[in-house]
Amino acid sequence: MDEIEKLLLEMDSRGFSEKTKKAYAYFSKEFLGFSKKSSREAKEDDVKRYIAHLIKDKGYTNVTANLAISALKFFFNKCAETGICNRIERPKRESLPHTCWSKAWTYGTYRHYWGIQNCRQRRYTLTLQTQN
């Protein structure tokens, strides 16, 4: 049985969602292609190099890199049974720019919003208010 098929079978038996299965299979295949090694020959440094490649060369966010690490940890712990990802450090989360709304704007928007009785009009009004 192929390693990716074993990965999919393991995830099926645990009830993983289709999106998770697709993402984990993608990152596992991508890693094996990137490293040009079998899962038994791969080392921790290969995984670190791959994560750095995702962030620097492909421009993936740290959140996506964390997903790749989770996929590879599952792959190497459950399918390849080597556990080479156990000591991999996860990248820091990016900080998002803070949006600061004034108290008057927030209070006025929501006072107007809850004063509207029609639900459809309420949704439309809130959408217009938040797009500015």
The reported pLDDT for the residue numbered 125 is 53
pLDDT tens per residue across span 75-127: 988 887 787 877 787 777 766 555 555 555 555 555 554 555 555 555 555 55
For residues 35-54, average pLDDT: 89
**Which residues have a Cβ under 8 Å from the Cβ of 29 and sit 6 or more positions away?**
4
The reported pLDDT for the residue numbered 100 is 56
The reported pLDDT for the residue numbered 51 is 92
pTM: 0.67
